[in-house]
Structure 1
Amino acid sequence: MTTHVAPAPFTADDYRARATRVLADAAEQGLDGVLVTPGPDLVWLTGYRPTAITERLTVLVLARDHEPTLLVPALERPDAEAAEGVRGLALQAWADATDPYAAAAALLRADGTYGVSDSAWALHLLGLQERLPRSRYRALTDCLPMMRAVKGPDELARIAAAGAAADATYDQIVGHRFAGRRETEVAADLAALLREAGHEQVDFTVVGSGPNGANPHHEAGDRVIARGDAVVLDFGGLMHGYGSDTTRTVCVGEPSDELRRVHEVVRLAQQAGVDAARPGAACQDVDRAARAVITDAGYGEAFIHRTGHGIGVTTHEPPYMVEGEEQPLVPGMCFSVEPGVYLAGRFGVRIEDIVTVTADGVERLNRTSRELRVVE
């Protein structure tokens, strides 16, 4: 496989620019600031990923009325100081047997309204509310859903590299034997190939054969794959800190006429969804375009999930391509387009690419063939 050169790491200035933009966006939403707890938001804003997410409070406070401050347990301070994006922040440590919520409350307005990371523990939020009973909190997905949605050039390059590695994995896996092997064996091959292609983390390797393919999030099991089976392959993870996610459906041996027909419907639906993605279009337009093709073909009730999700430092994040999401697409957004048809007890078909919105349209970041592939 092709070896990808690791990109230059993000700098303290890169992280600082992100924090500045988040504060400006928060102010536009009437927020007094943003509270960022361990998870993807903290990684994106500081590069800091605590070695263990525990009951001890860690929170980055971005507020309009004082300098950005990272509050950490004292025993984790050395790790926090080593993170590139923590340089330039005020770093405040709290010791066991002291009250971390009182320390955090001192950084907040008593009657302020703050956006909070979706990954925040209820334990911590309730602790803050007890210290500041007039304060209010909103989930970041609700108040700043596009916080990480628009990627910069360095981020786009990482996602493109992850997509190319996933493509290389697919090109390899179709040369492996499927018939007579368990789903778990093929899933293990996928994971190994993703790592060989440069992924540091494998998040999922869906191998849904025959009737198991009708479950969109099927966990690979002990079912032995047989000739004639359709097999849904959905796999991805993180490479250089950014996600990949692609799906192709293959057939073990000669496909039936029905499988060919359903696969072609899904292929056309996926193309329609990609074609609908352009600057100014609403997220729901992508879903509507793909869903219309499947509905017109008579399989509308068998398309049981949204058409897509955003991708970045996690493999699932806003924006979501789903009915009711009117957020307009803008250049730099990256998301999946993945319609599917699922016939319970029989088989499923899904085709998925990651795309990025450009100035005048959209670019696929997965380029393997979307035709029905026959494997052994």
Structure 2
Amino acid sequence: MTTESSELYPVTRIDEVRAATAAAGLGALLLTPGPDLRYVSGYHAHALERLTCLVVPAAGEAFMMVPRLELPAAQASPAGRIGLEFVPWDETDDPYAVVAKRLGDVASVGLSDRMWAMQSLRFRDALPGVEQHLAGRALAELRMRKSPAEVAALRAAGAAIDAVHEQVPGFLRAGRTEREVGRDIADAIMTAGHAVIDFVIVASGPNGASPHHDLSDRVIQQGDQVVVDIGGTMPSGYCSDSTRNYSVGEPDSAYAAYFEVLRRAQEAACDFVRPGVTCEAVDAAARQVIEEAGYGSYFIHRTGHGIGLESHEEPYIVSGNTRAMEPGFAFSIEPGIYLPGEHGARIEDIVVCGESGGERLNLTTRDLVVVYQ
């Protein structure tokens, strides 16, 4: 196991997960390919119709069901170096029945939050009368608190996506389509060290008023403002996500006015981060600045989302979330202002809560970048 793998996916994690499973009142966790499985074992498995499943009983030893043809990949992964038992199965076997037999008498199980419905229903049939819950009931608390190794992985992801934003002004010019710019950005995301491109948003002119606009064939015009929201997954499994704003030529006065409000709101929320404050209070810190400036109705989403092995995970920075911040929480702070039919803006940094305050993991300028031709 590499030093990075051993730190990100330590051998002690299985024991922590077993204890969390018992504390959550679950008999076992059943973890299929996805972020939960990778968090616990380090195995980045293919999601297939053939069952791969890490079984973590609340009492007893964990084991992994794996199709025999996938066994070499599983053994070569960090999961192969943590003393985990692999149970290979053949094409004519019923792996669900094997899991049920080995589990014995349990009253409840936690299923991966991203488990396919096909698999959850097969487990329901194999474990009749056993209550099914989400594995997040046991894992969410662990996954929210990032270890120093996880924070380092997120910091590396932040630096990689920052390197892409540094190149964006060279891609933007009047006459190019959003899709053409997006292709250049996608190439840059991979060149910067990501293993996967998760999303590329290039939202020009009125498209900037749609927070989750993707790419289109709209031709960028002189005078357009452009929202660029990009992210990917690093080889470590940890994600990047950052939004910056560009203007092809000088912006109009109305845009410049609310962009300054947005910049102050994002800064206020970042400055408010520290242990003990609630997630909803961080949301309110950004929202208050925007509402006092008269743009409250144009801020139409939460202030942020957690990030780690998924680009969106707990904790969510939103009104109603009274969870208090703890050191190791990692999340976006991304207030936005969107004027339908005109333009929009969003400033997004990934922030980690430290012992006394927040650390921004994205360091490129948050000012509007004006691109001259």
Give TM-score, length-normalised by structure 1. Answer: 0.93
For residue 310 of structure 1, the aligned residue among 306, 310, 315 is 306
Contact kept, 8 Å, 2:277 with 2:324, in 1: the verdict is yes
Q: CA deviation at 1:265?
A: 1.4
CA distance in 1, matches of 2:49, 2:10: 26
Partner of 1:137: 132
Q: Letter of the aligned partner of 2:153 in structure 1?
A: R
Q: Letter of the aligned partner of 1:206 in structure 2?
A: I
1:58-103: per-residue Cα shift (whole Å, max 9, x none)?
1101112221100112222222111122331111122222222111
Q: CA deviation at 1:15?
A: 3.4
Partner of 2:328: 332
Partner of 1:68: 62
Count matched residues: 369
Partner of 2:222: 227
CA distance in 1, matches of 2:333, 2:287: 11
Partner of 1:297: 293
Q: CA deviation at 1:26?
A: 2.3
Contact kept, 8 Å, 2:18 with 2:59, in 1: the verdict is no
Partner of 2:269: 273
Contact kept, 8 Å, 2:204 with 2:220, in 1: the verdict is yes
1:155-175: per-residue Cα shift (whole Å, max 9, x none)?
211211111121121122123
Partner of 2:35: 40
Determine what percentage of the aligned residue pairs are the same residue.
Answer: 46
Give 3-state SS (helix, strand or coil) of 1:265's partner: helix
CA distance in 2, matches of 1:296, 1:142: 38
Partner of 2:232: 237
CA distance in 2, matches of 1:63, 1:28: 12
1:12-37: per-residue Cα shift (whole Å, max 9, x none)?
99432222222222222222222111
Q: 1:78 aligned to 2:67?
A: no
Q: CA deviation at 1:140?
A: 2.9
Q: 1:56 aligned to 2:44?
A: no
For residue 160 of structure 1, the aligned residue among 155, 161, 170 is 155
Q: Letter of the aligned partner of 1:219 in structure 2?
A: D
Unaligned runs of 5+ in 2: none
1:102-157: per-residue Cα shift (whole Å, max 9, x none)?
11112324342222111111122112222222211211345542331211122211
Partner of 1:4: none
Once structures 1 and 2 are overlaid, which stretch shifts more, 111-120 or 355-364?
A: 111-120
1:167-186: per-residue Cα shift (whole Å, max 9, x none)?
12112212334211100111
Partner of 1:149: 144
Q: CA deviation at 1:356?
A: 0.6
Give 3-state SS (helix, strand or coil) of 2:364's partner: coil
Once structures 1 and 2 are overlaid, which stretch shifts more, 92-101 or 346-355?
A: 92-101
Unaligned runs of 5+ in 1: 1-6
Give 3-state SS (helix, strand or coil) of 2:12's partner: helix
CA distance in 2, matches of 1:66, 1:90: 12
Give 3-state SS (helix, strand or coil) of 1:16's partner: coil
Partner of 1:181: 176
Contact kept, 8 Å, 1:159 with 1:244, in 2: the verdict is yes
Aligned CA-pair RMSD: 1.8
CA distance in 1, matches of 2:362, 2:102: 45
For residue 255 of structure 1, the aligned residue among 248, 251, 254 is 251
1:344-375: per-residue Cα shift (whole Å, max 9, x none)?
11111000000111100111111111111111
Give 3-state SS (helix, strand or coil) of 1:180's partner: coil
Q: Letter of the aligned partner of 1:233 in structure 2?
A: V
For residue 286 of structure 1, the aligned residue among 282, 290, 306 is 282
Q: Letter of the aligned partner of 1:130 in structure 2?
A: D
For residue 319 of structure 1, the aligned residue among 311, 315, 334 is 315
Partner of 1:215: 210
For residue 367 of structure 2, the aligned residue among 363, 368, 371 is 371
Contact kept, 8 Å, 2:21 with 2:58, in 1: the verdict is no
Contact kept, 8 Å, 1:111 with 1:134, in 2: the verdict is no
Counterparts in 2 of 1:8 and 1:15: CA distance versus 1, 3 Å: closer
Q: CA deviation at 1:337?
A: 0.2
Give 3-state SS (helix, strand or coil) of 2:338's partner: strand
1:228-252: per-residue Cα shift (whole Å, max 9, x none)?
1110000111223211110011111
Partner of 1:99: 94
Partner of 1:198: 193
Contact kept, 8 Å, 1:110 with 1:135, in 2: the verdict is no
Contact kept, 8 Å, 2:280 with 2:320, in 1: the verdict is yes
CA distance in 2, matches of 1:12, 1:44: 12
1:194-223: per-residue Cα shift (whole Å, max 9, x none)?
222222221111000001111111111110
CA distance in 2, matches of 1:359, 1:186: 40
CA distance in 2, matches of 1:13, 1:329: 22
Q: Letter of the aligned partner of 1:235 in structure 2?
A: I
Contact kept, 8 Å, 1:214 with 1:347, in 2: the verdict is yes
Give TM-score, length-normalised by structure 2. Answer: 0.94
Give 3-state SS (helix, strand or coil) of 2:20's partner: helix
